[in-house]
Amino acid sequence: MESPAAQPAGAPLIDDPDIFKFKQVLDNFPDGVYFADLERRITYWNRAAEEISGYRAEEAIGKHCADKLLEHVDASGCLLCTGPCPLSQTLADGRPHRAEGYLHHKSGHRVPLEIRVFPIRDKNGEIVGAVEIFNDNSRQKALRERAKELAKWAYLDPASQLGNRRYLEKELARQLELFSKSGLPFGIMLADLDELKRINDTYGHAAGDAALAMVGRTLSGCLRASDVLGRWGGDEFLAILPAINKENLAIATEKFRALVAVSSLPVGSSQIAVTISVGAALVAPGDTQESLLKRADEYLYASKQSGRNRVSLP
């Protein structure tokens, strides 16, 4: 029998012509699709699944979904495979299930997903597996368009493909003006990549640059449409979060921290753990850019002093 690695992209292991007579459609389906048997072993992996996850079909087929592959987590960074896994739920009760989560991309960053799972039944109605359909809901298309616009106006940081400091200062000034006129609150988040020097010294500066890019991509996937994220300088990122209160600022910044903490950067045969320390602040009457950033920087320093990989805010 042909081994999974020798089969072409998208080739199934389940030998059922009824299931795979629409294989050509599935291979060109815009959403990621994979099939799993009762042991949660992957038996089919379409081309969109390759594009969204970074893993080729030959790398996925024959593995279990929890075998250091997708490693779905929820917004708090908890593994779905050890908790409310929609695939396991469908295999157990035979009903469709839906969830939102974040997969672990082959290049290391986290990709936000909408996940839908449906049972696969044989001709006798017995459950023989499940199909998971997932799509990238991280606004990547919008982000690519924004990158083009930023580059046009010299606002793009080429390393992270995010807005640069000049762009962030412009957006921060706009939010402060809006606050002074309408009282619409906003918050900011300063995130610093922990121990970047150690990564540079151990693995080289190319790995350090890749770690910054990975963190930028992961943080981008956490944003609302109205949020702004950019590289403030060095190993720091700044997010501007309009129309937010203290409670939601705490939730958002902890989400940022947790999702970076469960990401990792592949370098050769190693997986480098990467974390961020975060300081956040809400705008207050009379604030200038300097005073608001100073408060966020003070809370960032508190996170660093408290052991890193944590959030500090008022």
pLDDT, one tens digit per residue, over 63-99 is 987 777 888 888 888 888 777 789 999 999 999 999 8
Query: Is domain 140-312 annotated with CATH 3.30.70.1520?
Result: no
> What is the token pair recorded at 65?
């979904």
Position 141 confidence tier, pLDDT thresholds 50, 70, 90? low
Report d(CA 172, CA 257) in Å as an integer: 22
Which residues are bridge partners to 192 per DSSP?
236, 277
> What pLDDT, on the 0 to 100 scale, is given for residue 81?
77
CA-angle at 142, arms to 246 and 277, nearest 5°? 40
In CATH, the architecture of 4-136 is 2-Layer Sandwich (3.30)
Across the range 237-266, mean pLDDT stands at 94
The sign of the torsion formed by the CA atoms of 58, 62, 63, 65 equals: positive
Are 190 and 293 contacting, i.e. CB atoms less than 8 angstroms apart? yes
Q: What stretch of H or E contains 138?
A: none
pLDDT, one tens digit per residue, over 187-205 is 999 999 998 999 999 999 9
pLDDT, one tens digit per residue, over 90-116 is 999 999 999 888 888 998 888 888 899
> What pLDDT, on the 0 to 100 scale, is given for residue 228?
93
pTM: 0.69
> What pLDDT, on the 0 to 100 scale, is given for residue 72?
85
Report d(CA 286, CA 272) in Å as an integer: 42
More confident residue, 66 or 307: 307
Dihedrals phi, psi of 136, to nearest 5 degrees: -75, 115
For CATH 3.30.70.270, list the domain ranges present in the chain.
140-312
Position 2 confidence tier, pLDDT thresholds 50, 70, 90? very low
For CATH 3.30.450.20, list the domain ranges present in the chain.
4-136
Number of CB atoms found within 10 A of residue 4's CB: 19
pLDDT, one tens digit per residue, over 272-295 is 899 999 999 999 999 999 999 999
Report d(CA 237, CA 249) in Å as an integer: 16
More confident residue, 3 or 223: 223
